[in-house]
Amino acid sequence: MSDTLTLPYTAREAKPPSKRIPVAVLGATGSVGQRFVQLLEAHPWFKLHEVVASERSAGKSYGEAADWRLDTVMPNDAAALPVKNLGADLDSLLVFSSLDSSVAGEAEDDYANRGCVVVSNSRNHRMDPDVPLLIPEINADHIAAIERQRKRRGGRGAIITNPNCSVVGLAMAIAPIERLYGIEQLHVTTMQAISGAGYAGVASYAILDNVIPYIGGGEEQKIESEPRKILGRWENDRFVDAPFRISAQVNRVPTIDGHLMTISLGVRNRNSINVDQVREAIDNFRGEPQNMRLPSAPKKPLHYVAGDDRPQPRLDRDREGGMSVSIGRLRPCAILDLRMVALVHNTIRGAAGAAILNAELLEAKGLLA
Amino acid sequence: MSDTLTLPYTAREAKPPSKRIPVAVLGATGSVGQRFVQLLEAHPWFKLHEVVASERSAGKSYGEAADWRLDTVMPNDAAALPVKNLGADLDSLLVFSSLDSSVAGEAEDDYANRGCVVVSNSRNHRMDPDVPLLIPEINADHIAAIERQRKRRGGRGAIITNPNCSVVGLAMAIAPIERLYGIEQLHVTTMQAISGAGYAGVASYAILDNVIPYIGGGEEQKIESEPRKILGRWENDRFVDAPFRISAQVNRVPTIDGHLMTISLGVRNRNSINVDQVREAIDNFRGEPQNMRLPSAPKKPLHYVAGDDRPQPRLDRDREGGMSVSIGRLRPCAILDLRMVALVHNTIRGAAGAAILNAELLEAKGLLA
Amino acid sequence: MSDTLTLPYTAREAKPPSKRIPVAVLGATGSVGQRFVQLLEAHPWFKLHEVVASERSAGKSYGEAADWRLDTVMPNDAAALPVKNLGADLDSLLVFSSLDSSVAGEAEDDYANRGCVVVSNSRNHRMDPDVPLLIPEINADHIAAIERQRKRRGGRGAIITNPNCSVVGLAMAIAPIERLYGIEQLHVTTMQAISGAGYAGVASYAILDNVIPYIGGGEEQKIESEPRKILGRWENDRFVDAPFRISAQVNRVPTIDGHLMTISLGVRNRNSINVDQVREAIDNFRGEPQNMRLPSAPKKPLHYVAGDDRPQPRLDRDREGGMSVSIGRLRPCAILDLRMVALVHNTIRGAAGAAILNAELLEAKGLLA
Amino acid sequence: MSDTLTLPYTAREAKPPSKRIPVAVLGATGSVGQRFVQLLEAHPWFKLHEVVASERSAGKSYGEAADWRLDTVMPNDAAALPVKNLGADLDSLLVFSSLDSSVAGEAEDDYANRGCVVVSNSRNHRMDPDVPLLIPEINADHIAAIERQRKRRGGRGAIITNPNCSVVGLAMAIAPIERLYGIEQLHVTTMQAISGAGYAGVASYAILDNVIPYIGGGEEQKIESEPRKILGRWENDRFVDAPFRISAQVNRVPTIDGHLMTISLGVRNRNSINVDQVREAIDNFRGEPQNMRLPSAPKKPLHYVAGDDRPQPRLDRDREGGMSVSIGRLRPCAILDLRMVALVHNTIRGAAGAAILNAELLEAKGLLA
């Protein structure tokens, strides 16, 4: 057993595509959609070619249709693109989706059945039995499920998903510990930023000088189930969940970006526990994106932040462009084995950035050919 | 076993004192000290007679010395009082203390040894073997320890303490469950308001758009130890801790007042668990302050707040003048037995209001005679 | 010329009605509508009898229809009321309106033409030539316009309005100065709380760690025009505006309640200016609501708050139940004559409370008979 | 008269120094001091060589002494530097100062008299009769005053200052208008971020859900006087103030960074006013830093931001690395001639970045030789 997580692939640096691959974004005017547009502006491999939104935006340019809310300027090329209707034929093979879950289920299936590779941030298909729920540092081998999916669809179309924003932080934070000792149970309480609810999702009157101990859409259920698939195995053409149990309690707090969470966990192999070894495994944690030097891969997926009072959302969320998860306060638990605090940038590593990294993995593995 | 918590005293309404009892406040210029002054203004039993602060304030009136920060006007009578030096002789038998822990230990002992009944919000003597750590709804019988303390001091002086602000919320929230099923273990994550750190305790630059996953002064240790004394027993002239274990993770969040906490707990008597029974026990929870109708006693010490997303600090902290603890989201835990959310007004029920209720109990029990 | 503002009525205390007058609230589920319901709960003269809302709420009880957001509990009596559709026949003569401006214009006219006395917080009819725009401390005599209005409508129905939330603060703050010296010009910059936009009006993602230098709905235009009508005269059956000019710049800031504003003004009678005299006139300012001891009248409509750094929204907005305007930092201006800071509780004195005070004036003057 | 501001120097691109110039930072552990350290890390011309702080930090490394609060990692090279005592001999000719005003006056004079070129952000010497108060886009020619100062000091030492953080935004915003029409009078209300008060300057309990209509240290006086020196002339060996008058009212608001201000102004040449011309002049505004392509110079010192509701602190403060001032809502005033909203990043363009740009100008002009 190694104290760093290196996946069993032959390390080889990915070859960039010969020219930038044209991509479409579904739900491009929403808050995650805007992040896609922002992150794709200077992307070395992908080029924004099509934007798709609901009928309300039909006939407008993206510049007219999108109520741009990010703190960088809307890319000129994007602004000039005509907005296509959801359902319209697309030129692009690679399609990013940040559709609302009320429409994502059907629309993504539809495009996948038409032959598109849909890299989705929506929750609808995450738990499907042949859809990978990817964090490439952890389970890059789960892309093997695409083969089965393609058989079902009868073409090269497929859906690949990334986890819920909190789950990305949680699963990455515990991955080194799972590999070292095997996790048995885990209590997590999240303190989630308002941007996780989309631009208009949380009224200021609801959250100023306040905390809301609830997030709709089954947030706690997602946190309790998705990590088990992510840290599980793909074998014999099906996913086998990791065997641990999770209890999640979620809260909305008045921060802009960055989901912070306290974690308390018990392991199966209790006798081996060594806090220093865990800290080292966190800092040395690497995976396929680092091995292949994918463009959006952080150098260090996990940063152990020293200091009694870290990580903190405002100070630590932007490490490595928001693609790293920060961890701190690793210490024994008064009941279980370990306690820690983890932080993930919810709209970058927890949403659009995660999907883009997934697409990079697909390209590097030759699955967009 | 009853599903409501009624303590084994004969219920009898307390007789008010014949005239308002003069009291002193130690540390009167600080943030909790100001709350004492505010809450005592219209108190039916007690009358602010002396204010004591550090040498910096010597020779000034309270109006000059205190940088008043509350959203009510400073009482005129208080403003006119001369500030006495810490250590000065006091006329008052009853002395409230909100001294900083750097000086509280010695100063409170000193006044108690001189014959004062010191009702303290400071942490220094909370765990002393003959000092009651009171939440009168839970452990009013612990005041019996005063007898042993008075023997030691050789007079009528004594120290009585209230718990840490978060502990008040936690201990009250779990008290009905402890009585129903016996608690075995408990995970708690707090989201604490900035007022808990005193007026200048948290810089705005530190906390705006941020969460700090740490609170100094041994906050987690207090939360892990104080509830065991509070829910324990005084027998054979000593305190016997309740047998459960607590794991606490604390956070500072950008709210003004109100400590919110998520709780997950396991009980000893797992087979009997019934969520409806617990909810009812919470709503019916009463104790000695209610039996005796103490002036600061809330009608209902615990409010079960319906609604998926409650309690919330801004909406629920002021129930019954800030003297009630609000509870919500009671539901089974995915790992242990029960999960819930609790909220306490940290500077009222969690500090000055708690101490005043303690003093009312002492008076009602004849211990200020 | 007096340095206090006392209106030329014979002071006489109003006689309470023999029993509580039944009233209706239009737009009762919205944020100002909820304030009406809250403030009417314990009102000595009025009793909530009917609640009216849009069709979405039809057939529900108020408890089901309203997403209650205030920090007090929804009154039980209100919760049980059936919600009537806008346009339905009403039993009540007195009707409060907090309708959205998209529907208020027509609906209020309709009810007034049917014989109701509509006391409105909406902006639609404020500048109508026979509709009083009342701040009873300033222009109680403007209710004379109702006579002309009733002639037009051919019955006892009428519309009475209160000003925009910021205007209430501004007009009250300058009223004593207008009376003393005559105002010539005035620059005002507002910093307005989020509650002014209604519950969902300002997204948290828009305002956290931010200021928005704009408020829609013609906010600046209202501030520049309404005070001239309020401080003007009703004579010869028409309103004559006060002759001063106002330049307003408005901002939304991340506060919950309380509109703060900086004011710089020049007067016509510059030679007489005396800052002490102004401060005294502010503190002594009284009007008809005080003379008649109306139930919602603050004892002092204006509070001059000492201290270089006051008034402040969180510390001063709740003076006299939110019905007083706080003023501070009165000092000479480097360009014009006087500078000052004013604060008004925007949803109480600036909205529901203002309307209720207006209705009390009508009752006291015998206009609800 | 031109509608763009180009200063009367021959445009020539500055030649970089042959190697990075060693510099010292006085007050290096404070909040502006940390910004100096951050901005100097990758500076092409300057290299941090010495850090100076109060005695409390003596004997420590910078990494030990500084409580680092920025959202980037402390530079390793800086962390290793030993902290020197204020007053110690320095190797560096170029010295940045962010000393507290309680000590800056004497200390800066002392170092200048010893031959250092002190580029200061402190307020003490700004209004001295031979000390330039520089915004290089506006008054780069004021550096001529150094000659007189050097005569007085008898060496090559000198003090050069940048304005108060709000003044930088105000002076830059009005500079094109001053050149076009001549300003006569100006009302400004600021809404200033908490970082302007230093790390611990504003308690969170003071500012959450609040606005404070006051800033100490003579903030309003600085805003009313400094722009007149900046936009004035250096002629006949002395500064001649620009003739306009300013009335300032300042407020602290709960934003992290970015001072926003509303401006209303009257001009001398009223007949020529054309809002489109002003907008164009703002967008075309350039100065010596752009002509010489100084490393920290923004491409556009002023950005006119379209949209009714802009600029906004969180969305616009970081334009061009925080070195540009954003302007919006340009429109006629109801009383004077023009109204507008301006925004400056107070700790970058308004403090450390301003000083570094000043030092670059000195180097480019050969004044560090």
Please give the average per-residue pLDDT across A342-362, as a whole number. 97
How close C209 gets to chain B, by Cα (Å)?
Answer: 7
Give the closest-approach CA distance of A209 to chain D in angstroms: 7
Neighbouring C-beta atoms of residue C38, cutoff 10 Å: 20
Residues of B with CB under 8 A from a CB of C: 69-71, 208-209, 256, 314-316, 318
CB pairs under 8 A between C and D: 125
The CATH number of the domain holding residue D66 is 3.40.50.720
- For an interface test with D, which of A64, A67, A71, A312 has the most D Cβ atoms less than 10 Å from its Cβ? A71
- Chain B residues within 8 Å of chain A (Cβ atoms): 185-187, 189, 191, 208-214, 216, 224, 245-249, 251, 253-256, 260, 262, 264, 308-315, 328-329, 333-336, 339, 341
Q: How crowded is residue A119: how many other Cβ atoms within 10 Å of its Cβ?
A: 28
Tally C-beta pairs within 8 A across A and D. Answer: 16
| Closest chain C residue by Cα to residue A201 | C203
CB contact under 8 Å between A205 and C208, yes or no, is no
* Chain A touching partners, 3 or more CB pairs below 8 A: B, C, D
Look at C251 and D260 and tell me if their CB atoms are within 8 Å. yes
Q: Are C325 and C7 in contact (CB under 8 A)?
A: no
CB spacing of B209 vs A341 below 8 angstroms: no
Across the interface, which of C208, C333, C341 has its CB nearest the CB of D247?
C333
Of the spans B6-10, C365-369, D199-203, which averages the highest pLDDT?
Answer: C365-369
Q: Are D289 and D356 in contact (CB under 8 A)?
A: no
Residue B142 belongs to some domain of the structure: yes
Per CB-CB distance under 8 Å, the chain A contacts of D70 are 315
Task: Compute CA A112 distance to the chain's CA centroid, rounded to the nearest angstrom.
Answer: 20
Q: D1 pLDDT exceeds 70?
A: no
Distance from CA of B345 to the nearest CA of C (A): 14
pLDDT at B43 over 60: yes
Please, are residues A38 and A54 in contact by the beta-carbon 8 Å criterion?
no
Question: Do residues A172 and A265 share a domain?
Answer: yes
Give the pLDDT mean for B246-261. 98
Q: List, in order, residues 6 or more apart from A56 with CB less than 8 Å away.
A: A65
**Residue A12 falls inside a structural domain:** no
Task: Considering only CA atoms, give the Rg of chain B.
Answer: 20
SS (H, E, C) chain A: CCCCCCCCCCCCCCCCCCCCEEEEEECCCCHHHHHHHHHHCCCCCEEEEEEEECHHHCCCEHHHHCCCCCCCCCCHHHHHCEEEECCCCCCCCEEEECCCHHHHHHHHHHHHHCCCEEEECCCCCCCCCCCCECCHHHHHHHHHHHHHHHHHHCCCCEEEECCCHHHHHHHHHHHHHHHHHCEEEEEEEEEECHHHHCCCCCEHHHHCCCCECCCCCCHHHHHHHHHHHHCCEEECCEEECCCCEEEEEEEECCCCCCEEEEEEEEECCHHHCCHHHHHHHHHHCCCHHHHCCCCCCCCCCEEECCCCCCCCHHHHCCHHHHCCEEEEEEEECCCCCEEEEEEECCCHHHHHHHHHHHHHHHHHCCCCC
Cα A328 to chain centroid distance, Å, stands at 21
Taking contacts as CB-CB distances below 8 angstroms, the residues of chain C near D208 are 314
For tokens 């026949």, the residue is C89
Least Cα separation, residue D209 to chain A (angstroms): 7
Structure tokens at C119: 């006391």
Q: What is the tens place of the pLDDT at every residue in B81-99?
A: 999 999 999 999 999 999 9
pLDDT number for residue A5: 30
For chain B, how many structural domains are there in total?
2
List chain A residues with CB under 8 Å of B251.
191, 260, 262
Give CA–CA dist C108/C279, Å, rounded: 40
Q: How many CB atoms lie within 10 A of CB D144?
A: 14
Structural domain contains residue B298: yes
Instruction: Identify the residue whose tokens are 């009812």.
Output: B280
Residue from D192, D208, D211, D256 to probe the interface with C (highest C Cβ count within 10 Å):
D211
Min Cα separation A60/chain C (Å): 24
Residue D10: pLDDT over 50: no
Please judge whether B314 and C256 are an interchain contact, meaning their C-beta atoms are less than 8 angstroms apart: yes
Interface of B with D (CB under 8 A): 31, 69, 194-195, 199-209, 254-256
Enumerate the residues of chain A whose CB falls inside 8 A of the CB of residue C199. Answer: 203, 205-206
For the domain that residue C319 is a member of, what is the CATH number? 3.30.360.10
Is residue D273 assigned to a domain? Answer: yes
| Closest residue in chain B to residue C315, using alpha carbons only | B71
Identify the pLDDT of residue A12.
Answer: 64
CA–CA dist C326, C322 (Å, integer): 10
Q: Are residues B147 and B235 in the same domain?
A: no
User: Which active-site residues of A does the annotation give?
Assistant: 165, 259
- State the DSSP string of D212-262: BS--TTTHHHHHHHHHHHHTSEEETTEEE--S-EEEEEEEE-S-SS-EEEE
pLDDT confidence bin for C59, thresholds 50/70/90: confident
Assess whether C176 and C315 both reside in one domain. yes
> What does the block give as tokens for A14?
């990915």
Partners of residue B314 in chain C, C-beta under 8 Å: 71, 256
Those residues with Cβ within 8 angstroms of residue C32's Cβ, 6 or more apart along the chain or in another chain: C98, C121, C198, C347, C351, C352
Instruction: Give the gap in angstroms from C-alpha D70 to the nearest C-alpha of chain A.
Output: 7
Q: How far apart are CA A153 and CA D5, in angstroms?
A: 64
Which tokens is B283 given?
């709503």
A100 and A208 housed in the same domain: no
Task: State the average pLDDT for chain D.
Answer: 94
Q: What is the mean pLDDT of chain B?
A: 94
pLDDT above 90 covers a percentage of chain A that reads: 89
* Out of B199, B208, B209, closest to residue D205 by CB: B199
Cα–Cα distance, B205 to B192 (Å, whole number)? 17
Question: Is the N-terminal amide bond of C311 cis, ω within 30° of 0?
Answer: yes
Q: Identify whether the C-beta of residue A1 lies closer than 8 Å to the C-beta of residue A178.
A: no
Dist. CA B34–CA B198, nearest whole Å:
11
Instruction: Provide the token pair at C36.
Output: 């009406």
Q: Which helix (H) or strand (E) holds D367?
A: none
The answer to whether residues B322 and B255 belong to one domain is yes
Chain D CB contacts of B203 under 8 Å are: 199-204
The residues of C annotated as belonging to the active site are 165, 259
The stretch C213-226 carries a mean pLDDT of: 96
A252, closest residue in chain C (CA to CA): C204
Q: Which of D43, D116, D125, D165 is catalytic?
A: D165
Residue A277 lies in a domain: yes
Residue D54 lies in a domain: yes
Assess whether pLDDT exceeds 50 at residue A10: no
pLDDT band at C12, cuts 50/70/90?
low
Strands A94-97 and C83-85: unpaired
With an 8 Å Cβ cutoff, the interface of chain C facing chain D consists of 185-187, 189, 191, 208-214, 216, 224, 245-249, 251, 253-256, 260, 262, 264, 308-315, 328-329, 333-336, 339, 341
Q: Is C250 within the bounds of a domain? A: yes
Asked if C248 and D308 come within 8 Å (Cβ–Cβ), the reply is no
Residues D229, D194 contacting (CB under 8 angstroms)? no
Summarize the confidence of residues B52-67 as an average pLDDT.
90
Per-residue pLDDT of C256-296, as tens digits, reads 999 999 999 999 999 989 999 999 999 999 999 999 999 99
Residue A201 and residue A326 in one domain: yes
SS3 of chain C: the string is CCCCCCCCCCCCCCCCCCCCEEEEEECCCCHHHHHHHHHHCCCCCEEEEEEEECHHHCCCEHHHHCCCCCCCCCCHHHHHCEEEECCCCCCCCEEEECCCHHHHHHHHHHHHHCCCEEEECCCCCCCCCCCCECCHHHHHHHHHHHHHHHHHHCCCCEEEECCCHHHHHHHHHHHHHHHHHCEEEEEEEEEECHHHHCCCCCEHHHHCCCCECCCCCCHHHHHHHHHHHHCCEEECCEEECCCCEEEEEEEECCCCCCEEEEEEEEECCHHHCCHHHHHHHHHHCCCHHHHCCCCCCCCCCEEECCCCCCCCHHHHCCHHHHCCEEEEEEEECCCCCEEEEEEECCCHHHHHHHHHHHHHHHHHCCCCC
Same domain, yes or no, for A155 and A223?
Answer: no
Q: What is the mean pLDDT of residues B287-292?
A: 97
Residues A221 and A302 in one domain: yes
Q: Does C2 reside within a domain?
A: no
How many whole angstroms from its chain centre is CA D179?
Answer: 20
Report the mean per-residue pLDDT for chain A: 94
Do D363 and D291 contact (CB within 8 A), yes or no? no
> Do A122 and A33 meet the contact criterion of CB atoms below 8 Å apart?
no
Residue with tokens 């008809």: C288
- 3-state SS class at D133: strand
Candidates D204, D335, D344, partner chain C, best to mutate (most C CBs within 10 A):
D335
Let me know whether B207 and B123 are in one domain. no
Q: What residue type is assigned to position D172 of the chain? A: M
pLDDT, residue B12, reads 64
Which residues of chain A approach chain B closer than 8 Å at the C-beta?
185-187, 189, 191, 208-214, 224, 245-249, 251, 253-256, 260, 262, 264, 308-315, 328-329, 333-336, 339, 341
Co-location of D87 and D117 in the same domain: yes
Q: What is the chain D residue with the closest CA to A69?
A: D315
Q: How far is C205 from chain A (nearest CA, A)?
A: 6
Residue C341, domain extent: 165-346
Residue A199 has pLDDT above 80, yes or no: no
Residues B335, B360 within the same domain: no
Q: State residue C196's pLDDT score.
A: 86
Chain A residue numbers touching C196 (CB-CB < 8 A): none
Model confidence pLDDT, tens digit, residues C146-200: 999 999 999 999 999 999 999 999 999 999 999 999 999 999 999 999 998 887 7
- Whole-model pTM? 0.94
Q: How far is D127 from chain C (nearest CA, A)?
A: 19
Q: For residue B14, which amino acid is it?
A: A
Assembly ipTM: 0.93
Please give the residue that has the higher pLDDT: either B252 or C71. B252
Interchain pair C69, A208: CB under 8 A = no
Tell me: do C295 and C267 sit in the same domain. Answer: yes
